[in-house]
Structure 1
Amino acid sequence: MLDTTLYNTEEILRLLKLEQIGEDRFRGQSHFMGSPNVFGGQVLGQSLYAASVTVEQRRPHSLHSLFILPGNHRLPIEYEVERVRDGGSFSTRRVVAYQEGRRIFVTSISFQNEEQGLSHQKAMPAAAAPESLPSSIKAWKDNADLVKRPFQPVPVDFRADHAGDIYGGHQSGTTKQVWTRAPMALPDDALTHETLFAYVSDYGLLWTSLQPHGIKMGDPRLQIASLDHTIWFHRPFRMDEWLLFSMDSPNAAGGRGLCFAHVYNQDGVLVATTAQEGLIRLRDKKA
């Protein structure tokens, strides 16, 4: 039986499916993530859902987003889809998310017909098998008081060598590897897996840029927020099968951190790549 104190998979899957309120207009709700602000991964997943509803047969291959303003999780979010172009092989959609008439998020998503062609990939790095690692989720819950950050259920399991250190402050270097998988069987439709991937892709990616500096989430000096987010979908995948997020932060400067993740299935197939730049500003605690 699924431990609902640790996982909220079904809740998130419902959250990612939007209500259609007009032609190419949708409305979504939010959930509490421990902050008054809307979780960025939620807006990514909901925007991808809205755009996908307006495209027949073609699957998304790239998503490029900007977080403009923090969203309020107590208010609904309205999404407007612009049908930029439908070509012979590709379709382009632009999605703008609004709250109280203000733009809080914008993304451009490209869709493509299934096509065969030249193929190569970056090799999967060496990694411990997920079955050999303990779940990070219970450790996160057990350590909530220690890190002074209330635990919130998540839709997927996470497993990493640093399972007991959610915020990466005990890590060194600029890389991190985390396995993830939904703790239950999911429907077969590709959109379920794509939108959940978009949601999960915002978990912990930016934290990688804190590792070389020994800074943890929860540090009272830290102001952290996603600024932009990109996903490239390379090959089909399932979120109820193990995926390895091999993360790297090649740069931090100007109060911003840049992070990438190459995502592999257990057979070593590169299924997606994500990139994110975010604010990692250290403020004077007294100020």
Structure 2
Amino acid sequence: MLKLLWPQNDASFLDPDNRSSHIEINIPTYQHGVKEDSMDLQIKSLLYTYKKFRIYKLDHFVDTSDNVSDEYVQLTYSDKPKYDEILDSISMSRSDHSSDSYLINEKLDAIYNVHYFKKMFLDDPYRILIDFPKNKFRSMMILSDAPNDVALPTLDEGFKFLVLLSDSTDDEYRRVILNSPLYKEHEIKYDVKLKILNKVLDKQRREHPEGFNQDIKYKIVRTYLIKLAFHIQVMRIFKTTLPLNLTPEEENEFHDNVKNSVRVRIERESIKLANRSTP
């Protein structure tokens, strides 16, 4: 957890009763596993970024074309305007605490480490898959423990804070993950989701017979998210491009080709991200 010393004369909106010269503020790092932020800080920072980046309005795909700004990626929204256009249209006044304008200002952005959040959120090769950023955010809402100082907030339909202890039984992992809102936009049969999750759990149990910690819990949720997203992307392309009058063998071959093409796209995105991070 990072800490920020904020000058008191510039932080009265955080704690008006504090008379010291500085206020110490915990800054979220958005790390995962054993290095994750406290539950209270995770909830507060996710609430802020949820509202600021309008996660509930994210479109199916981000814009990853090389000619867009913001290091080759741009959030896009179902109601069309891009995030930069939204910023231009909103007043930065912090006096109006009842509107979105209060939530979007530089001081709160610093306190909630928004720059790093966006980098962590979007520097992900799987971002090219349908609805992946939105569901990556949902996966971040599956907490490793209950909070101490705040209750689990209720957000818009389709976004829900859940608690999944790392040392839970496999049945509890299934209950929480399969009943979470992950990829609720897509009608995926329960048996398909169960099969994907069981494979993930079985692999981790074989590799970690001593039990799961927070790192393994994160890996399980992350791997399930990726495999589910991959399945949805493949089936979406397969169903919309499948030629007519194929034999079962030809259909299987076509399905394999679609899977390979999606894998290639993910690999290319990984290379793009790796090249960006290389000086």
Using the size of structure 2 for normalisation, the TM-score is: 0.23
Please say which structure displays the higher CA radius of gyration. 2
The structure with the greater share of residues assigned to helix is: 2
* Greater RCO, 1 or 2 (C-alpha within 8 Å, sep 6+): 1
The structure with the greater share of residues assigned to strand is: 1
Using the size of structure 1 for normalisation, the TM-score is: 0.23
